[in-house]
Structure formats: C-alpha cells, structure tokens
Amino acid sequence: MTPEELLDAYAEMVLIRRTERAAHDLFMSGLVKGTTHLAAGHEAVAVGASGALRPDDYVFATYRGHHHALARGATPEECLAELMSRSTGLCQAKGGSMHLTKASSGMLGSYAIVGAHLPMAAGAAWSAKLRGSGQVAVAFFGDGATNIGAFHEALNLAAVWALPVLFVCENNLYMEYTPIEAVTAVPNPAADRAAGYNMPAEIIDGNDVVVVHETVARAAERARKGEGPTLIEAQTYRHFGHSRADPAKYRPADEVERWMKHDPLDVARARLEALGVPPETVADRDRRAAATVDAAIAAAKNAPEPEPALAFTDVWADGGAAWRT
Amino acid sequence: MADVKFTYRDAVAEGIAREMRRDPSVVCLGEDIGAAEGVFKTTVGLFKEFGPGRVWDTPISEQAIVGAAMGAAMTGMRPVAEIMFSDFLACCWDYLANEIPKARYMTGGQVTVPLVVRTANGGGLGFGAQHSQAVENWAFTVPGLKIVAPSTPADVVGLMAAAIRSDDPVVFFEHKALLAGSGPRPPDDHVIELGRAAVVREGTDVTVVALASTVPLSLKAAEQLAGEGISVEVVDLRCLIPLDMRTVLRSLEHTSRLVVVEENPYQGGWGGTVVSVVADEGFEMLDAPIKRVAGANVPLPFADSLEAEVIPTVDKITEAIRRLSVY
C-alpha cells in the first residue's frame, strides 16, 4: 500500500469505528431497536480486503457486517438510517442491522443464518467463472461458522470447481459467548480445515490493514488466474460484546487488555508515522470522519419513517406481493 | 407416433433444453445430472448437448447446490438446481426458508434471485418414508417462493419455460408417479403463465381441485362417476403460488360443491388454504360441506398396500364425491 492508500484506509477505518460507536449509543438511547452486532475492532479486515478488490467484485457478509457495507461504499447515513428504521436506510428499513446490503457496489448482503452465505459466495464466483468476467467473490464469516455444514460444503464445492472465491474468517476467539477453542477440534478453526479441501490457507494478523490488504490481493490474483479459492483466517477481536448490550464479561481482563493494545487503528497510525505521514494529516482525517458521522446521525434522526405500504413491496421481482388470483 | 411416447420425464429434459438453447445464462447443477443423466432420467441429453460448462455435477451437498444457485442467480445467471428427492429439501431448507425467498425483500429490492429448484416429489413408487413424501406444503408455508407442480408432459414444458424465465425463485415439483406417463409434445415456445389453473374436465355437480398426481386420479374418479350420473369438474391448479383461486371460485359458482385432493398431509396441507379462501369468499355459493382427500398424518409406509392406505386413491376420491353429491 502507498502512504496515500494507507491514509485512506485509516480514514475508512475511523469512519467505521465512529459509525459503530454511534450505533451503540443510538441503541442504548432507544433509537435503534432489535439488535446490533458491532464490528468495532474488525475494521482492518473489511478495509484491507475491500481495498485489494476490484469495484465489481462481490462481497457477502454476516449479521456482523456494518464494516463490510461501509467498506464497499455504503455511507454512514444510509447505515444508521437503516438501523433507526428510517425510509432512507440502505434497505428501506426492511432489513435492519443484520442485513445491510449495497448491491450497486457488489456488496450482496449480510446474512444472519450462520454460514449460509458461504455457498452463495461460491455461487457468485461460479457465475463469474461461467461469464468469464474475472470477478472474484469474498465471503466474510466468523469463527463460529466453521462448525456448520454450509462452511464445509462450500469449501469443498469451491475447491472441486476451482472457483474464484475467497473465504475470509474473522476469528475473534468467541463464537458468541463461548470461546471457539472450547467447541472446535482444531486450534485454528478455519485454517486447519482447509487442508481437508486441498485449499491453501493463511493465518494473518487481522488487525493490521496492510497485512490483510496484501494477503487478499495475493489470493484474489490467484483466483483471477483460475487457481481456485483461498482460505484466510484473520485474527481479530471485538471491542463490544456479541450483540446488543452484551458486556462480554466472559472474556478475561488480560486478554481484553492485550487485544486493546493491538487496536487496528493504532496499528495503522504507527505505520503512517513510520512512513512519515505528519500527525496533523492523520488528525485531520479523524476530524473529517467524526464530522461525517455526526452529520449522518443528524440526517438519520430527521429522516422519515417508511410508508406502511412498503411492507407489501418487493416480495417479487415485479415489486409486488400478490400470492393468489 | 413419437408424440405418443413423449413422457413426463422426457418433458422435464425437453423443457430445460428449450430454455438453455434460448438463453445462455441458463445453467444446471445437481447430483448425477450430467453424464449419468439424472437418477430419474429427467436430464437426458442435456450434458451431451450443452457440455460440462452448462451442466454441472455436484457433490452430495444440498446446501452447496442451492446456496451456489442462489449466488449465481444474484449475479446474472439463471440456474436450474436439482434436488434429487424432495425429501432432501430438508437438507437445504435454510436456503428455501430463510435465504432465497427473503433476499429481495430484506434488501429493499436490491437483488433478485431468478432460479429454479427442481425436485422429484411424492409417493406411489414404494420408496418408503424418506423418499416418498409429497412436500409441496413445506414450500407453501414460505412467503417469497413460487411453486409449480405440473400433471402432464405439456404442462411440464410450458411451466418449466415460465419458471426459468421468471425473475422470482421457483420450486418445481416433478411427481415421481407421473414420470413414466406420456402425452402430446407441445409446440415450440410453449409457455404457461405461472398461476393459471386449468379446468381439465368440465362438470356441473362437484368441483374437484387437484394438483400433480391427484389430477389423473381425480380424472379417473370423474370418469367412473359419470357412469353414475354425477358430473364432476376437475381443476388442475398447476401452481400453488401464485394460487389461482379465481378459477376455483368461478367453478364453484356452477357446482356449489368442493372436494380438494392433495397428496401432502391433511395436517398443514395446501388444501387447508384453498378451503379457507372458499369459506371466506365463496361461502354463500356452497350447498354442502367441503371435503378434503389428503395424505394421512403418518410417515409414508413402504408396502404398496400400506402406502395406498395413506395417500389419495381413485376410490377415496369417488367416495368423497359421492357423499357430497347426495348431501
């Protein structure tokens, strides 16, 4: 990554961090209902990967997917409006926090059934292969998804068909509340399974945006050359609990402290400093991100609720919901 | 005459082939569908004509099959996925219950999922409890899926064309007991709009609403009862979603009596919905209670004699119609 690319990546990560903080605060103040699964701490995975992809590549994410929507071009205002049930939301307030989607830029959805989107990503990659488009598809998923059948079916199919797909595990050590190591037969829940599917795998520092970027770029290049899928296990950590107001008290204090000292924003800042980027340039990006998110919060709060008729649109491709004559 | 031998199973392959010739974005995937030409021989000729680039053999991975079809459908293809036996839909039910039918809605209309999931459905062949179920009612419980279940070779071709051309996801139930039956080969570009029932026999005394395997059973029953002076109208729904209630209600205007014949279980079967619409919107037309001839609320037994006890038969249908006609 050039210093300029790294600075942009840093700014994008700050924007995501601020958006997630806003989502948390809006949830606690009752303006976001249902649930949220915040990705603060995971920013480098989304931003590092996205920067290494083509604009027309496909991304599939999980219910912890705000960072992927933002990294693929969704605005904080669209995301927060969706969380706040406003008509200006990304999905017209019909999806919510767990289903952020920005199809116009290839971010084809956030799926809330664990592991379900891995076969979809394989299918999008199959489609790219059939069309000869040179696109790749990326499925981001949590460590918890590595013990569900769809993960294994997708990996096998992708390997057998040599599909241009990247499987990127965001291993944050906890499936929800239970440590992943307590329920998994191998120490590296994603990477250790790859050999069973004759698939190359890498375990990387998911909190270093440069490392993620370089790893994804290499894997995407392999995929585009027709050399098949790659599995990447990016080690990272949640700043918040699993969902909603989970204080994550099940995590040992020393573990939390260790990971908080390895925050992706700090890692990127240190790299920028080493490259000679002036601190005031970095601070300026911090201020701009804060202003963008503040404006997004205000705009989302002022946006209208969806019209009731919207409940009956878009079941079908013709826009309607008719089920009988 | 070649037409005489145009079977329901031929019609499946022919219906798919016609669309594959017309539209290069149509691709097939499933277990043993390629060189092996399908365990039910419903994909005969496809691999030979279109090759491995458009007819893809998969591992026994129902989630991967339907999940990959979904991803391909969202990105410009029109996949036709085969799930060998409809019982196996349970292995990939997440995709049919949670993913495929909801993707468009929950993204605010950002994506479409134009795919077909084909599957061999129903009993009558003695395959036992895990390979004989009629499960069209499973799909019927999920908003966002279109459901097709043809009863004749011509309808297979016409409805396959409509299903593949549909921008909505379609579950296409091919009835195992009908595969060997034959009928006229339809003309080129034969397309039947989804959601149009067919009045396959006109009558004045009782309306029988049927689907797939229960259509020929109902027609046989109607033929028998004609000798007894009972005039039976048979409506082949052809699709469950969209459900052509207009045709059913119009038939009741002149018969005032209704029998619904369905192979899926009485408990939760689609006939319950047909009946509830009639009760709500057609109550004043009725001159008699409504009868449902449906699968029994038991798993499918193996022995032919036991299986016949629990799925609709001609005798059960004639009995129900007789009772209604004298009510």
* Residue-number span of the structural domain to which A144 is assigned: 3-312
Whole-angstrom distance, CA of residue B108 vs CA of residue A310: 9
Q: Does an H or E element contain A62, and which?
A: strand A58-62
Summarised one tens digit per residue, pLDDT across range B49-68 is: 999 999 999 999 999 999 99
Average pLDDT score over residue span B146-166: 98
Instruction: Indicate the residue of B27, B76, B108 with minimum beta-carbon distance to A95.
Output: B108
Vertex B240: Cα angle to B30 and B263 (nearest 5): 80
Minimum CA–CA partner of A118 in chain B:
B67
The number of helices, as runs of H, and strands, as runs of E, in chain A is 11, 6
- Asked whether residue B3 carries a pLDDT value surpassing 80, the answer given is no
Average pLDDT over residues B210-233: 98
Phi and psi angles of residue B288, each rounded to the nearest 5 degrees, phi first: -155, 165
Amino acid letter for position B286 = L
CA neighbours closer than 13 Å in the CB half-sphere of residue B105: 19
Residues of B forming the active site: 62, 131
Tell if the CB–CB gap between A94 and B246 is shorter than 8 Å: no
Give dist(CA B23, CA A123) in Å, integer. 19
Residue B20 has φ and ψ, to the nearest 5°, of -65, -35
Which of helix, strand or coil describes residue A102?
strand
Q: Is the dihedral of CA A180, A184, A188, A194 positive or negative?
A: negative
- Using a CB–CB cutoff of 8 Å, tell me whether A308 touches chain B: no
In a domain, A323, yes or no: no
In a domain, A291, yes or no: yes
Residue among B67, B108, B112 whose CB faces A119 most closely: B67
> Is some CB atom of chain B closer than 8 A to the CB atom of A318?
yes
pLDDT tens digit sequence for A172-199? 999 999 999 999 999 999 999 999 999 9
Quick check: B107 and A109 CB within 8 A?
yes
Q: How many CB atoms lie within 10 A of CB A312?
A: 11
* Fold designation for B198-325: Rossmann fold (3.40.50)
Among candidates B56, B67, B244 on the partner chain, residue whose Cβ is nearest the Cβ of A154: B67
Count of domains forming chain A: 1
Mean pLDDT, all residues of chain B: 97
What is the mean predicted confidence (pLDDT) over A314-324?
Answer: 98
CATH number for position A290: 3.40.50.970
Please report residues of A whose CB lies closer than 8 A to that of B108: 89-95, 101, 314
| pLDDT (mean) for B10-15 | 98
Upper half-sphere CA count for residue B162 (Cβ side, 13 Å): 23
A vs B, Cβ pairs < 8 A, gives: 167
Rounded-to-integer distance, Cα A39 and Cα A51, Å: 18
The residue written with tokens 């595990």 in the block is A169
Distance CA A307, CA A43 (A): 34
Given a contact cutoff of 8 angstroms between Cβ atoms, the answer to whether B149 and B212 are in contact is: yes
Q: Which residues of A92-110 are buried (b: 16+ CB within 10 A; e: fewer)?
A: bbbbbbbbbbbbebbbbbb
ipTM: 0.97
Percent of all residues in chain A with a pLDDT value above 90, rounded to a whole number: 99
Residue with the two structure tokens 């999920």: B142
A312 at interface of B, judged by CB pairs closer than 8 A: no
Kindly state whether A11 is in contact with chain B, defined as any CB-CB distance less than 8 angstroms: no
Q: Using a CB–CB cutoff of 8 Å, tell me whether A315 touches chain B.
A: yes
Closest CA to B131 of B171, B89, B172: B89
Q: Establish if A63 belongs to a structural domain.
A: yes
Does residue A272 register a pLDDT over 90?
yes
* Phi and psi torsions of B117, nearest 5°: -105, 110
What was the pLDDT predicted at B4? 61
Task: Check if A111 contacts B (Cβ < 8 Å).
Answer: yes
Q: Which residues of A touch B75 (CB under 8 A)?
A: 58, 108, 123-124, 127-128
As a whole number of angstroms, the distance between CA A139 and CA A111 comes to 11
Q: Is position A116 within any domain?
A: yes
- Residue A53: name the closest of A157, A132, A130, A125 by CA: A125
* pLDDT of amino acid A245: 78
Distance separating alpha carbons of residues B70 and B81, to the nearest angstrom: 9
Contacts of A157 in chain B (CB under 8 A): 58-59, 61, 64, 68
Which residues of chain A make contact with B78, given a CB cutoff of 8 A? none
pLDDT, average across residues A295-316: 98
Q: Is A121 on the interface with B (CB under 8 A)?
A: yes
Paired residues of B55 in beta bridges: B28
A201 touches chain B (CB under 8 A): no
Asked whether the beta carbons of residue A125 and residue B107 sit closer than 8 angstroms, the reply is: no
Write down the pLDDT at residue B257.
Answer: 98
B152, two tokens: 């004749």
Asked whether the beta carbons of residue A109 and residue B247 sit closer than 8 angstroms, the reply is no
DSSP state of A141: E
φ, ψ of residue A7 in degrees (nearest 5): -65, -40
Q: How confident is the model at residue A244 (pLDDT cuts 50, 70, 90)?
A: confident
Q: What is the dihedral of CA A47, A48, A50, A54, to 10 degrees?
A: 150
Check residue B2 and give its pLDDT.
47
Using CB atoms, which residue from A94, A120, A318 is nearest to B108? A94
> Which of A78, A155, A90, A152 has the alpha carbon at shortest distance from A122?
A155
What is the share, in percent, of chain A residues with pLDDT greater than 70?
A: 100
**Per-residue pLDDT at A103 exceeds 80:** yes
Identify the residue whose tokens are 């609990």: A241
Which pLDDT score is estimated for B1?
Answer: 44
Q: Does the distance separating the beta carbons of A127 and B71 come in below 8 Å?
A: yes
Does A103 reach chain B within 8 Å, measured CB to CB? yes
Cβ contact, residue pair A116, B94, below 8 Å: yes
- Can you tell me the distance from the alpha carbon of A190 to that of A149, in angstroms, rounded to the nearest whole number? 13
Neighbouring CB atoms inside 10 A of A183's CB total 13
Q: What DSSP character marks residue B44? A: T
| pLDDT digit string, tens, across residues A38-69 | 999 999 999 999 999 999 999 999 999 999 99
Task: Check if A139 contacts B (Cβ < 8 Å).
Answer: no
Q: pLDDT tens across A31-46, in order?
A: 999 999 999 999 999 9
Question: Check: CATH 3.40.50.970 for B2-178?
Answer: yes
Q: CA B130: distance to chain centroid?
A: 18
What is the mean predicted confidence (pLDDT) over A136-144?
98
Which of B27, B67, B106 is nearest residue A95 as measured by Cβ atoms? B106
Q: CA nearest B8: which of B186, B205, B264?
A: B186
Q: DSSP letters along A204-268, please? A: EETT-HHHHHHHHHHHHHHHHTT---EEEEEE---SS-SSTT---TTS-HHHHHHHHTT-HHHHH
**Range A151-167 average pLDDT:** 98
CB contact under 8 A, B66 and A119: yes
Question: Which of B67, B103, B108 is closest, CB to CB, to A123?
Answer: B67
Q: Which two tokens stand for residue A136?
A: 């790749």
Averaged confidence pLDDT in chain A: 97
Instruction: Compute the distance between CA of residue B95 and CA of residue B100 in angstroms, rounded to an integer.
Output: 6
Chain B CB contacts of A325 below 8 Å: 195, 242-247
CB count in 10 Å sphere of residue A185: 9
Sorted by where each begins, the domain ranges of chain B are: 2-178, 198-325
